[in-house]
Amino acid sequence: MAIDLTGRVAIVTGAGGGLGRSHALALAARGARVVVNDLSSDACEAVVEEVRAAGGEALAWPCSVTDRAGVFAMVAGIVERWGRIDILVNNAGILRDRTFANMDLDDFDLVLNVHLTGSVNLTKAAWPHMRAQGYGRVIFTTSSSGLYGNFGQANYGAAKMALVGLMQTLALEGGKFDIRVNCLAPSAATQMTEGLYSDEDLKGLSSGLVSPGVVALASENAPTRTVLLAGAGAFEQAHITMTRGIYVGDSVDAADRIEAGWDSIGDRTAEQVPASGSAQYVHEIAHPLRDGRGRSEFSTAKERSA
């Protein structure tokens, strides 16, 4: 069945242009009332006009996502006006690219502040409303630069991967309130990517080809804890996995066996996607390659000397 967002209220940050504008238009086209947030009032108003011209409902709310009080006031204002907040698209972003050697740490902080703290501000402000109404769809905008690295983007990559960590825990904590939390890693030709892609590639990378992914992640049937990659009309998923690994116990040559065992440690044949962080130690304590001699193979230095 076609996704219908009628009655839903969405906030899209950084929606005055680029991907955010496209997400706002796509959500409104499915019936959501959309708050268009960005730094500039003019940019917000222009997108609101576009939404309205297409028959949708939207409201401009300029403020920086780094302005905690401003973001909380926006959420309170929207709840007062429209009664609820269902969908957050944390999209606002900036770049301050330099190699790590040349990077100014103030720029490192700035990038973390906009991407990570900005997303935290909005999500924290909306979270109690989502819990109270027993419904929420939260989207964080990550990036392949965080997932896989990108030369000259240590600040951006760190901020973007931090959002994946934020998603992992908020998806767990939001589960019983039907708050589903996911990440989107887009590829699109915007002012942010100017000069990065060839003219030929840019043609295929329109923002509009990413936004259907946002609509799907904003829908009632959205998954949770998913990292959706999206670009040029193609959609993929990134997984954070744990391999089966090896078991060396407390043998005196443990480090040497690890050194000799990198291929086996990294062998992906039996890898899993842990349901939460504790899956690591549960797997390790009962490791399938333990030799069955139990505690003696797993004893602490104190126990051995006793």
Known catalytic residues are 156
Is 121 an interacting residue with respect to ligand NAD (CB under 6 A)? no
Among all chains, which residue has been given the structure tokens 């204002």? 77
- Taking a C-beta distance cutoff of 8 angstroms, is the pair 111, 159 a contact? yes
CA distances from 128 to 47, 122, 237 (A): 28, 11, 29
Is 141 an interacting residue with respect to ligand NAD (CB under 6 A)? yes
Strand partners, 153: 98
Is 18 an interacting residue with respect to ligand NAD (CB under 6 A)? yes
Closer residue to ligand NAD in complex, CB, 163/248: 163
Is 198 an interacting residue with respect to ligand NAD (CB under 6 A)? no
Contact residue for ligand NAD among 11, 25, 74, 114 (CB under 6 A):
114
Alpha-carbon span 128 to 74, nearest angstrom: 14
Q: How far is the CB of 209 from ligand NAD (least distance, A)?
A: 11
Alpha-carbon span 31 to 289, nearest angstrom: 53
Backbone angles phi, psi at 261, to 5 degrees: -110, 15
Q: Which of 274, 282, 72, 286 is nearest to 172 (CA)?
A: 274
Structure tokens at 38: 């960005």
Contact map string, positions 226 to 265, toward ligand NAD, x by CB under 6 A: ----------------------------------------
C-alpha atoms less than 13 angstroms from C-alpha of 45 in its C-beta half-sphere? 3
Is 186 an interacting residue with respect to ligand NAD (CB under 6 A)? yes
Cα 268 to chain centroid distance, Å, stands at: 24
Is 187 an interacting residue with respect to ligand NAD (CB under 6 A)? yes
* Residue range at the interface with ligand NAD (CB under 6 A); choices 18-26, 81-89, 123-131, 212-220: 18-26
Is 193 an interacting residue with respect to ligand NAD (CB under 6 A)? yes
Contact residue for ligand NAD among 39, 103, 246, 258 (CB under 6 A):
39
Torsion-angle region of 225 (φ positive above 0: left; ψ -120 to 50: alpha; else: beta) = left
Amino acid sitting at position 81: R
Backbone angles phi, psi at 273, to 5 degrees: -100, 100
What is the per-residue burial (b if ≥16 Cβ within 10 Å, else e) of 27-47?
bbbbebbbbbbbbeeebbbbb
Q: How far is the CB of 252 from ligand NAD (least distance, A)?
A: 47
Is 65 an interacting residue with respect to ligand NAD (CB under 6 A)? yes
The size of the interface with ligand NAD (CB under 6 A), counted in residues, is 28
Contact residue for ligand NAD among 93, 136, 157, 213 (CB under 6 A):
93
Contact residue for ligand NAD among 66, 150, 168, 299 (CB under 6 A):
66
Q: How far is the CB of 144 from ligand NAD (least distance, A)?
A: 6
Is 38 an interacting residue with respect to ligand NAD (CB under 6 A)? yes
* Residue range at the interface with ligand NAD (CB under 6 A); choices 129-137, 180-188, 234-242, 287-295: 180-188
* Residue range at the interface with ligand NAD (CB under 6 A); choices 36-44, 103-111, 219-227, 275-283: 36-44
Backbone angles phi, psi at 258, to 5 degrees: -65, -45
Q: Contact positions toward ligand NAD, by CB under 6 A? A: 13-14, 16-20, 37-39, 64-66, 91-94, 114, 118, 141, 143, 186-188, 190-193
